[in-house]
Every structure is written in structure tokens, then in C-alpha cells.
Chains A and B, each alone.
Chain A
Amino acid sequence: MKNVYLTPGQSVLNKPETYVYIDKEEKTDEDRELILQLKRGKMKAFRKLVEKYKKPAFFIALGLVGNREDAYDISQEAFTRVYTSLGRFNPQHKFFSWFYAILSNLCKNHLRSREIRGRYIRSVDDDAEMSSQTNPAPGPDVLMERNERSLRLWEEISELPLEFKEIIILKHFQGYSYKEISQMLNIPLGSVMSRLYYARKKLKDNLKDILT
């Protein structure tokens, strides 16, 4: 028989249309089983893991670095890190939380080196065009529909401090629950709520003109 859970934090009284029934135990057990097989050298298990998480990996990276080629590359690199540092994975933890730590670190390093390169080029050549090349404005090809409002919103999200950008992406574009976010960012539930509050507040203040 299957255990049926509500998604964490979802109370019975609110939004009955958003009930999501998922078999949590089975889900995490599946990852654990795949990792065990991978540790025994089964590449097939690794492939399964990659196929299962490639989309969230790519879209999270895209949200963080704002560029499709880099996001594709970085997310692939994150999976190879999984493979090479498998010994450091604590099977007590959820695979995706661990994976998220690897992925977001790679994204942060990438953003940092992009920023340093940008600063260097600016100091060598005071050309505004050059600096926008190294720190490309979020490409419009990132969005499905390119209307003015979406572009503006995407731009504002991209310019948020990383900590805020991260939580907006996890909540809005990936639709993770507070509990899942708290595991991924390794912060208490209360901090998820307050960080989300400050992130959204900043966003809404910057977007005052289009939100009224």
C-alpha cells in the first residue's frame, strides 16, 4: 500500500485545487537507491539521475546566471561534480538538496568571475559596450513570451542580490515548497519566509510602475 502525503506545509483548509498527492517516501528512496547503484559503478543509475533532474538543474542555473549556454554548461558540470565527489554525499540527506548546493556554488563562482572579468575590461577600456558584453543583460531568448512587462520583470529579478534572486527562482519558477527550499538553502523555515518577504518587497518596490 502507498503512503499518501500532502506537499509539506499545505493545510487541508486552503486551496483544495492545489493539492498535490505525491508519494514522498518512494521519491526519496528512489534517489537513494540510484545513488547506491551508482556507488557500485552503475552508469545506468547515474544516467537515470541525470535525466530525472536535468530540467530543474538547467532552469535553476538559468535563473541564477541568466544565460542559456552558461546554464546548460554549468548544470552539466554540476552533474559531473556529483559523480566525482560521490564519496562526500551523506545518504541521510536528500539528493537534490546536496545537488543544489553544488549547482548554486558553480553558478556563484561563475557570476563572480564574470564580474571580475567585467571590472578588468572596464578598467582597461572605458567602453560601455564592452562591459555589457561581459555581463550580458538577461537575453530576451530566455523568456517564452517577450512582452514588455515580462522583460522588465525578468530584468528586475536578474538585478536582485543573489540571496534574493535565488529564493524567487526556487519559489516562482520551480514551485518548491517552503520546506524544500529550507532544505536546499539549509536555513530554517522562518528564514525562508522572511527572506522571501524581503526579496518580494524589493521586487515590488522596483516594479511599482507596472504593478499598479
Chain B
Amino acid sequence: MKCEEVKPYLMSHLDGEIEPEKRSEIEKHLEECEDCTKEYQAFVKLKQETDKMKLADLSDELWNGYWKGVYRRIERGVGWIFLSIGAIILLSFGAYQFFKELLADPNISLIVKIGVSIGALGAIILLVSIVRERLFLCKTERYGEVER
């Protein structure tokens, strides 16, 4: 076996995930090859070092509150969707009524009608854009609200 072929198997040997036949093949290579043996020993040391390192656990309080946090997020997400749908329905109905009256009123000049219409169009675009962001994008950015 060439050294390059041996390298990945140094990993499975180290981690005890190697087939018995492969194991003896690799061990035979290690007996003959100084470079691979050196490298293998360095990997063993690295593994010992990483095994010693432990990540700190969270407090019981945080673990106990974990489910509640997940639940609240779901609840809020659902709340937001309903709120947005409701708001959109009411706003569009209101806007429809308003424009029907505005455009039908002969006392208001054409220029005002155009101005208000364009302004309203802008508001609708902004609203849709914000709602879309809340529903699809914003979730990834909501990392600010961890309680400790």
C-alpha cells in the first residue's frame, strides 16, 4: 500500500472503526514506514488532547426552560402569521373603501388623487416586503432574545 492510501485508514484505526483485514494491512505498513508511524503517533496525541477537553454544561435552569423557549417561539411564529393575515385583510379593505370615495369625489383635484394613489402604492409595496421578510427571512436573524 502507498502512504497516500494508508492515510484515511489511520483515522479509522485510531477511532476503532476498521475492518480486521484492513487493520492488519495498515499495521503492516506502519511497521515498515517511519513517516506514517510518526504521523499516526501525532494523531494519537491529538486525540488524547481533544479527549481531555470538555465543553461546559448549561445550568439546570436553562435546560429546564429549553422546551418552553421552543414552544414560545412556535407560538409567536403562529401569532405573527395570523396577525399579518388579519392586518392585510383589514388594511386592504380600508384602502379599497378610501380610494373608492376619493376617486369618485369631484371636489378633489386630479393631482391630489394621483399623489395619494402613488403614495398608497408605495405603502403597499413596503408592507408586503416587510411581511414577506418576517415570514421567510427574519427567523434566522432572531438571535437576540436569549434569557439567561
For residue A11, which residue of chain B has the nearest CB? B20
For residue A15, which residue of chain B has the nearest CB? B16
Check B43–A204 contact: CB distance below 8 A. Answer: yes
Q: Among residues 1 to 32 in chain B, which have CB atoms less than 8 Å away from a CB atom of chain A? A: 7-12, 15-20, 23
Total chain B interface residues with beta-carbon distance under 8 A: 47
Contact mask A48-72 → B, CB, 8 Å, 1/0? 0011001100110011000011101
Check B7–A47 contact: CB distance below 8 A. Answer: no
B143 within 8 A of A: yes
For residue B46, which residue of chain A has the nearest CB? A204
A127 within 8 A of B: no
Q: Which residues of B contact A119 (CB under 8 A)?
A: none
Supposing A74-B143, A193-B9 touch, asked if A80 and B46 sit within 8 A by C-beta, the answer is no
For residue A83, which residue of chain B has the nearest CB? B74
Contact mask B104-137 → A, CB, 8 Å, 1/0? 0000000000000000000000000000000000
Segment of A88-96, A129-137, A149-157 engaged in the interface with chain B: A149-157
A3 within 8 A of B: no
Q: Which residues of A contact B7 (CB under 8 A)?
A: 194, 197
Check B55–A142 contact: CB distance below 8 A. Answer: yes
Supposing A59-B55, A145-B54 touch, asked if A178 and B17 sit within 8 A by C-beta, the answer is yes
B145 within 8 A of A: yes
Q: Which residues of A contact B62 (CB under 8 A)?
A: 72
Contact mask A155-199 → B, CB, 8 Å, 1/0? 000000000000010011100011000000000001001101100
Question: Which secondary structure characterizes the binding site on chain B?
Answer: helix
Check A76–B50 contact: CB distance below 8 A. Answer: no
Measured between alpha carbons, how far is A76 from B143 in the docked complex, in Å? 10
Check A70–B43 contact: CB distance below 8 A. Answer: no
Measured between alpha carbons, how far is A186 from B66 in the docked complex, in Å? 28
A13 within 8 A of B: yes
B140 within 8 A of A: yes
B89 within 8 A of A: no
- List 17 additional A-B contacts (Cβ < 8 Å) besides A50-B70, A77-B139: A43-B71, A51-B66, A74-B143, A77-B142, A80-B74, A106-B140, A143-B55, A150-B52, A153-B49, A172-B50, A193-B12, A196-B8, A197-B10, A200-B43, A210-B49, A211-B45, A211-B49
